[in-house]
Structure 1
């Protein structure tokens, strides 16, 4: 039997609290319904969302390719690291490492008050189920049902991919790396690490690369002021979890993120059947001429919605 070596990506450090900036309307949804929104990465403001890292890695790989063995070139080509993957089916929840960022206040304040919601990055979060059931309630024409094979003992096994199989990958905060000119150090190290692992692999071992999304935490340097950290989710089936909201792109798919139920077993630790109080520790009221009034009304809201323990504070940025 072949040995299997499982390769995971390096953990990227982030502060204990990450700061999700939102408008007043967004804040009401968060604390009244206990949910955060993760939107399909295909509909973000960054036109290269989830693509910048794979593009940089592919360019560096092509530069290094003449010096690499045929075995290494073949393995990396098949590993999925050269492709950005499915941007449309990856759902992104963004936050910042900065508690009081002028850039973020400008982005989310508009004509009203913005808020920075301090979330404990070490606490688990899960995708909220929207529709019950184990099969698509109204499958489209191209929605393939599973194929079954009858065995001699009378049992049936699924011989093809079942589109209704439930899974959710993600739920780990990652710190964004910003790409300016040249090849980032982390990209160079990533290729060196892959080359080393492939060359040192023993005969008969099979290597499973975890996370074709290895470079989904890279971004164009034009966004560096955001100091972003992010949660990425890949889910199935979409009919069970995905909602849609209006935007300048038309109907945009998104999923709701909540705290997993206390009774959840390991097989369902990344998705939940009901929303629970989120791991919020502090909320900062953005720059406003009515800071004390905003703090008082926020305090009342939190006390009424199960967040009485959450600290309320004000931005120190003198922006008006």
Structure 2
């Protein structure tokens, strides 16, 4: 049957593409790029700080989670355009100067080439800072609104139970020379793997899909750089990012399937009320899903509705067992400093953050 032949050819192409992609990814020196997990002890500061409003603090405490917002809705649009332009410039130059300049004909490099949104993954980010009392951050959260910076010790989290799935903590790079070197290094390693596969005849064996796998592997190798490069002008922030990669299509598909199953079950239960012998609904074989079953939520902003997900960071042992590892809270500049500081302290104590959580006032005076 023609349909069977077409299906077999399609399945063979998918299998070949997976094989090629695995070969590109295997035995690469930058293999750690694909390993998403908790950072090792000693790599991060003892405490990292998340700036937010008191309303944000209330939500974080009650949910024991931080809100990770879609990277598309970051406050400063230059946070992505800067990385786009730099990666585009360096990759294009590096490939043009390589032994295979014709690669640019096979893999057109453009701005946004390494943007994870371009190949299915959607990054959601929580921003942290090394400095607990930074004027630029207080300005961002509105002087007079009693903002706070929340200090947490991520190293106290159990990497197997307390660390969120498909998430990585990464330090933002502000040094333009270092950024260029990092991109060049990734491209050189990818070129080495490409040369090896070409020598093995893989491009001839899988002519129709070889360059698709090559392009995808290069984009994936650069994706974390796209998310962690910022303009040197923001250097004082000393930012770290908790990045969660989400396959939105899979999450939405899983959510739709759950709704459908619930509707079928509700209809069946309603029918059984009057027809006790009503048969059980037929079992539906769903394709395997890699979705986590995340609740994609939205919060209003000046730009419209911003999608976000909650990322739980809960300790399972020690002083903060069952809670966030909240070791310090800094009360920001406020027009009602004394009373808002006392209410903040009381709020934290009511929620169990007393003896092991330091609460202190900002050293930055309020401008009147």
The equivalent residue for 1:219 is 230
Q: 2:117 aligns with which of 86, 107, 116?
A: 86
Mapped to 2, the partners of 1:191 and 1:242 lie a distance apart of: 36
Q: 1:304 to 1:211 in 2, by over 3 A?
A: farther
- Counterpart residue number, 2:350: 304
Equivalent residue runs for 1:20-169 within 5 Å = 20-70=50-100, 73=103, 77=107, 82-86=113-117, 89-122=122-155, 123=157, 168-169=165-166
Q: Deviations over 1:76-135 (max 9, x none)?
A: 9599994212189221111211111011111113432111100223335656xxxxxxxx
Q: Is the 8 A contact 2:151 2:326 kept in 1?
A: yes
CA distance in 1, matches of 2:154, 2:363: 24
2:365 aligned with 1:318, yes or no? Answer: yes
Asked if the contact 2:133–2:363 (Cα under 8 Å) also holds between the matched residues in 1, the reply is yes
Distance of 2:189 and 2:65 partners within structure 1 = 42
Query: Distance in 2 between the 1:24 and 1:109 partners?
Result: 11
Structure 2 gaps, min length 5: 1-18, 203-212, 256-293
Q: Does the C-alpha gap of structure 1 residues 78 and 85 become closer, same or farther in structure 2, counting only changes over 3 Å?
A: farther
1:184 counterpart SS class: helix
For the 8 Å contact 1:72–1:198, the answer to whether it is kept is no
Q: Distance between the aligned counterparts of 2:82 and 2:107, measured in 1?
A: 18
CA contact (8 A) 1:92 1:232 kept: yes
TM-score with structure 2 setting the length = 0.61
Other-structure match for 1:229: 240
SS state of the match for residue 195, structure 1? helix
Q: 1:52 to 1:32 in 2, by over 3 A?
A: same
Q: 1:23 touches 1:115 (CA, 8 Å); kept in 2?
A: yes
Task: Return closer, same or farther for 1:196/1:253 CA change in 2, 3 Å cut-off.
Answer: closer
TM (normalized to structure 1)?
0.69
Q: Which runs of 5+ in 1 are unaligned?
A: 128-167, 264-275
Write the distance in 1 (CA, Å) between the matches of 2:323 and 2:308. 20
Larger radius of gyration: 2
Where in structure 2 are the equivalents of 1:242-281 lying within 5 Å?
242-259=296-313, 262=316, 277-281=323-327
Partners of 1:39 and 1:193 lie apart in 2 by 27
